[in-house]
């Protein structure tokens, strides 16, 4: 086998990074103590980064930095400051989720390679094209995809000069990444901010199926699927685990490295995965990859399964065997820790010392000799050294241009002018001046030029980029926006609601009504096309997840209907709408929380408007600056979708007559069931025809305050009137509810109180807490 696949390892702390290097990783992904999606990991400081880069690169290992969270407006200046530092390091790529960060990187920091995070849940061809236009160098494909789906997407990626990476080992999430708000809604720990508290792995009251951990999946392991992943053209295989310790990282990376070498050297795979069972695991599954989404993917125990596995291999999980297995694993873990610790202690992330020798005499160029542990080189000034008397202090021009060193060249002057060398993988250990004649002068610009040339050589013949002063956005003044009301339905029975109200902003015209398209409508595509063709005022609302044939059905609808406008939560559909000249609005599940995200969508894809995320609070919303000729939307009432899953969520709850999902499940299944955790918080599992399984909050989101809290920002406030059953009760029919919301937008006294009395119980915790 000639083509080599990158082995990409997690580095949650310095020891884990070292462990990944000695285990043979080709690349490592790690995060700083800010702006990354593993807040619970120890992470690294920027001061450590250059030393880590030096260590990794000396061992033929690349380093990718995770900046994969959504960024609120107040953090933008700090982010720009960080990017200005990173651009002058040897970092090999940055992993990104936020659209505003895509905008900043592609427009101002083009020297940094962009990797699209798993948080973007990339699962169709259009999303890859969307990311390619934003200069993404690689994409992480959704964990829910099958090998055939991965192969098709990798082909599209390569046609668009994009690499693909796939998670092959570690935790599965029950939800599509980036679309889980469970931790955010219950505890204020947003997964889109790297703070997920994993409530999906919490114990729940025992279900009808006798399960205590009904949402807990086994771990992902594609150990036996490496050949198929290689045949699919995947460029990088990725191991999850930035909160795992170094002995875990070493064991897993080492096992995968041996598997790769077996494929390369012997064209066969090792069937023995026993080493993977010796460190933390929840047992393993490769069912998503195999396209076999079944009941066996669940395990009713979120804790370490390694002792149980070893006991079962020794005759059964009796108490005696379990106790013996735990002793063996403890001894083995101690041995691994000791062995790996001894090896990683030999590795240093210390910066390399620079010995600088400065020499010269009057009438000759200044000579700066630089010696590193690996090489040495000389840099000469362009002009000659001169006696200080040549440029007397009274020289007005010299004073004006600040070109003279009044005190002559000395240690302090040189150290001050060369201190930027300490911001690299090196540090100035010593400056030798023994052969420098005293009381000499050279213009400061010459010292600056020497510094830049030294940096160029030390940084791998890469020019130093001066700090980029990104212009911060300003609020538009004197805006007077009268917000309209818009609403979402999913049943033809609700089409009459458009006749209920007249928008005050658009006299005698009807409210915008969005019609929710399901995740899978390939079997009813013709019927839906007819619906939109017959009623051109009805606006299609596209879901977040559209895979394979369902994505192609969405494209067929766009092509045949040619709607005037759409709302989409899927960037693949957004890309096609942009290419076809169809006006589009970015939906609320694109997780937009800052002004640069709005600019990204407007300038790159001619986006008409966007929903602001419901995860952020009043202060965070008020800081957003609306681009000119751009509409902002906000949902003031909706059932709270906490997660969306490709797995069947009823297996462990009420049970299902089928052991796995087949082609009829998505199209035909329709059921619901509650689960309650030990804190007495109830979640509602909902499956409707044509849709994936979802979990909803037990009460709906209602925020009447924002209408007066944030005036003159939003063009439309949105209400979701789909027939999703939660514990929130509505004391009147939909027509009257719509009229109440319109009264509230018009400022009618008492309308907010009437809404909260008519829709109860409800919550607006996210609007209060933010992220």
Q: What is the pLDDT of residue 37?
A: 57
Peptide bond into 504 cis (omega under 30): no
How remote is the C-alpha of 670 from its chain's centroid?
32
- For residue range 22-49, list pLDDT tens digits in order: 999 999 999 998 887 565 667 799 999 9
What is the C-alpha separation between 312 and 325, in angstroms, rounded?
Answer: 9
Strand 93-96 and strand 136-140: pairing?
unpaired
Range with the poorest average pLDDT among 353-367, 405-419, 610-624: 405-419
In Å, what is the CA distance from 231 to each residue of 155, 214, 238, 499?
11, 35, 16, 56
Query: What pTM value is reported for the model?
Result: 0.94
CA distance 24 to 216: 31
Q: Which of 131, 121, 105, 101 is nearest to 36 (CA)?
A: 101
* The pLDDT of residue 708: 96
**C-alpha span between 591 and 59 (Å, rounded):** 38
The CA distances from residue 261 to 28, 233, 265, 572, in Å, are 18, 17, 6, 36
For the chain, the 3-state helix, strand and coil shares in percent, each to the nearest 5, are: 35, 20, 40
Q: Which of 624, 618, 636, 562 is nearest to 592 (CA)?
A: 624
Residue 706 sits at φ, ψ, to 5 deg, of -65, -25
In whole angstroms, give the CA distance from residue 217 to residue 232. 25
The DSSP code sequence of 696-750 is EESSEEE--THHHHSTTS-SEEEEE------S-EESS-HHHHHHHHHHHHTT-TT
Please give the structure tokens belonging to residue 711: 């005036």
Query: What is the rounded average pLDDT for all residues in the chain?
Result: 93
Q: What percent of the chain has pLDDT over 90?
A: 89
Q: What is the pLDDT of residue 505?
A: 41
Q: Where are the beta strands (DSSP E) in 114-229?
A: 114-116, 136-140, 163-170, 219-221
In tens, the pLDDT along 275-297 reads 999 999 999 999 999 999 999 99
| φ and ψ at residue 420, rounded to 5 degrees | -60, -20
In this predicted structure, which of 284-293, 400-409, 411-420, 492-501 has the lowest mean pLDDT? 400-409
Q: Over range 383-390, report the average pLDDT.
A: 78
User: SS3 for 337?
Assistant: helix
Residue 25, SS3? Answer: coil
pLDDT of the residue at 198: 93
Q: What pLDDT does residue 39 have?
A: 59
Closest CA to 718 of 626, 616, 611, 631: 611
Distance CA 288, CA 101 (A): 30
User: How many Å apart are CA 241 and CA 9, to the nearest integer?
Assistant: 8
Q: Model confidence over 513-557: pLDDT tens digits?
A: 999 999 999 999 999 999 999 999 999 999 999 999 999 999 999
Task: Find how far residue 332's CA is from the centre of its chain.
Answer: 35
- 3-state DSSP assignment of residue 331: helix
| Residue 537 DSSP one-character state | T
Per-residue confidence band for 2, with pLDDT thresholds at 50, 70 and 90: low
Per-residue model confidence (pLDDT) at position 111: 94
pLDDT for residue 281: 96
Q: What is the pLDDT of residues 132-182, one digit of tens each?
A: 999 999 999 999 999 999 999 999 999 999 999 999 999 999 999 999 999
Q: How many other β-carbons are positioned within 10 Å of the β-carbon of residue 60?
A: 11
Identify the bridge partners of residue 6 per DSSP, sorted by sequence position: 236
The CB density around residue 656, as the number of other CB atoms within 10 Å, is 18
pLDDT digits (tens, 9 = 90+) for 320-347: 999 999 999 999 999 999 999 999 999 9
- The Cβ of residue 680 has, within 10 Å, a number of other Cβ atoms equal to 7
- In this predicted structure, the answer to whether residue 573 has a pLDDT above a threshold of 60 is yes
**The pair of three-digit structure tokens given for residue 133, joined into one six-digit string:** 């236009």
- pLDDT-based confidence at residue 187 (cuts at 50, 70, 90): confident
Provide φ and ψ at 337, rounded to 5°: -60, -45
Please say whether the beta carbons of 331 and 352 come within 8 A: no
The DSSP symbol for 492 reads G
Q: What is the pLDDT of residues 189-202, one digit of tens each?
A: 999 998 899 999 99
Question: What digits encode the pLDDT tens for the residues 638-689?
Answer: 999 999 999 999 999 999 999 999 989 999 999 999 999 999 999 999 999 9
pLDDT of 397 above 50: no
Average pLDDT of the segment spanning 757-764: 96
On the question of a cis peptide bond just before residue 716, with omega within 30 degrees of 0, the verdict is no
Q: Residue 116 in contact with residue 140, Cβ under 8 Å?
A: yes
């Amino acid at each position: 086998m000639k083509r080599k696949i990158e082995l990409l390892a997690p580095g949650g702390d310095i020891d884990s990074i070292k462990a990944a290097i000695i285990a043979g990783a080709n690349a490592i992904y790690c995060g700083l103590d800010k702006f990354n999606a593993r807040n619970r990991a120890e992470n690294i400081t920027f001061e450590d980064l250059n030393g880590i880069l030096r260590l990794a690169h000396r061992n033929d290992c690349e380093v990718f930095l995770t900046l994969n969270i959504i960024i609120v407006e107040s953090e933008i200046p700090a982010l720009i400051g960080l990017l200005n530092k990173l651009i002058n390091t040897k970092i090999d790529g940055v992993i990104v989720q936020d659209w505003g960060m895509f905008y900043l990187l592609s427009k101002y920091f083009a020297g940094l390679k962009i990797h699209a995070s798993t948080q973007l849940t990339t699962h169709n061809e259009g999303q890859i094209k969307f990311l390619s236009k934003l200069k993404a160098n690689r994409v992480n494909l959704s964990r829910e995809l099958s090998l055939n789906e991965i192969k098709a997407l990798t082909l599209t990626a390569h046609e668009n000069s994009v690499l693909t990476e796939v998670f092959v080992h570690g935790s599965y999430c029950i939800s599509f990444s980036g679309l889980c708000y469970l931790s955010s809604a219950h505890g204020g720990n947003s997964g889109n901010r790297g703070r997920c508290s994993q409530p999906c792995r919490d114990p729940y009251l025992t279900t009808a199926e006798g399960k205590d951990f009904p949402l807990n999946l086994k771990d992902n392991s594609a150990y036996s699927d490496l050949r198929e992943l290689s045949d699919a053209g995947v460029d990088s295989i990725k191991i999850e685990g930035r909160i795992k310790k170094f002995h875990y990282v070493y064991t897993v990376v080492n096992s995968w490295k041996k598997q790769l070498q077996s494929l390369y050297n012997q064209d066969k795979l090792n069937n023995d995965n026993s080493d993977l069972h010796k460190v933390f695991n929840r047992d393993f599954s490769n069912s998503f990859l195999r396209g076999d989404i079944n009941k066996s993917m669940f395990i009713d125990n979120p804790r370490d399964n390694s002792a149980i596995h070893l006991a079962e291999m020794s005759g059964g999980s009796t108490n005696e065997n379990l106790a013996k297995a735990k002793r063996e694993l403890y001894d083995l873990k101690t041995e691994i820790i000791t062995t790996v610790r001894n090896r990683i202690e030999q590795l240093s992330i210390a910066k390399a010392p620079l010995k600088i020798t400065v020499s010269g005499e009057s009438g000759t160029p200044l000579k700066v000799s630089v010696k590193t542990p690996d090489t040495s080189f000389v840099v000469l000034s362009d002009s000659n050294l001169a006696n200080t008397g040549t440029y007397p202090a009274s020289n007005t021009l010299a004073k004006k241009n600040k070109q003279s060193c009044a005190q002559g060249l000395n240690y302090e002057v040189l150290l001050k002018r060369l201190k930027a060398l300490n911001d690299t993988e090196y540090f100035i250990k010593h400056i030798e001046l023994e052969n420098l004649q005293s009381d000499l002068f050279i213009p400061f610009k010459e010292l600056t030029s020497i510094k830049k040339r030294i940096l160029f050589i030390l940084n791998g013949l890469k020019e130093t980029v001066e700090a980029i002063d990104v212009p911060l956005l300003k609020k538009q003044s004197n805006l007077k926006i009268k917000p309209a009301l818009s609403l979402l339905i999913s049943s033809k029975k609700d089409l009459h609601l458009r006749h209920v109200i007249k928008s005050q902003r658009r006299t005698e015209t009807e409210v915008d009504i969005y019609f929710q398209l399901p995740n899978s409508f390939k079997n009813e595509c013709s019927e839906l096309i007819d619906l939109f063709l017959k009623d051109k005022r009805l606006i299609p609302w596209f879901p977040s997840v559209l895979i394979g044939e369902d994505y192609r059905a969405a494209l067929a609808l766009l092509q045949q209907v040619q709607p005037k406008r759409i709302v989409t939560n899927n960037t693949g559909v957004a890309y096609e709408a942009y290419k076809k000249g169809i006006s589009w609005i970015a939906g609320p599940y694109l997780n937009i929380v800052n002004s640069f995200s709005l600019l990204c969508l407007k300038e790159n894809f001619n986006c008409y408007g966007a929903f602001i995320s419901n995860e952020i609070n009043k202060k965070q919303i008020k800081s957003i600056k609306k681009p000119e000729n751009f509409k902002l939307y906000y949902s003031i009432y909706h059932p709270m979708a906490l997660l969306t899953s490709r797995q069947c969520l009823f297996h462990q709850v009420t049970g299902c007559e089928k052991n796995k999902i087949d082609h009829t499940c998505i199209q035909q299944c329709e059921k619901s069931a509650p689960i309650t955790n030990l804190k007495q918080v109830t979640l509602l599992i909902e499956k409707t025809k044509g849709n994936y399984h979802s979990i909803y909050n037990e009460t709906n989101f209602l925020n009447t305050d924002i209408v007066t809290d944030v005036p003159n920002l939003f063009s439309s406030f949105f209400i979701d009137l789909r027939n999703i059953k939660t514990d929130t009760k509505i004391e009147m029919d939909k027509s009257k509810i719509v009229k109440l919301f319109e009264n509230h937008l018009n400022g009618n006294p008492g309308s907010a109180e009437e809404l909260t009395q008519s829709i109860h119980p409800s919550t607006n915790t996210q609007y209060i807490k933010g992220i």
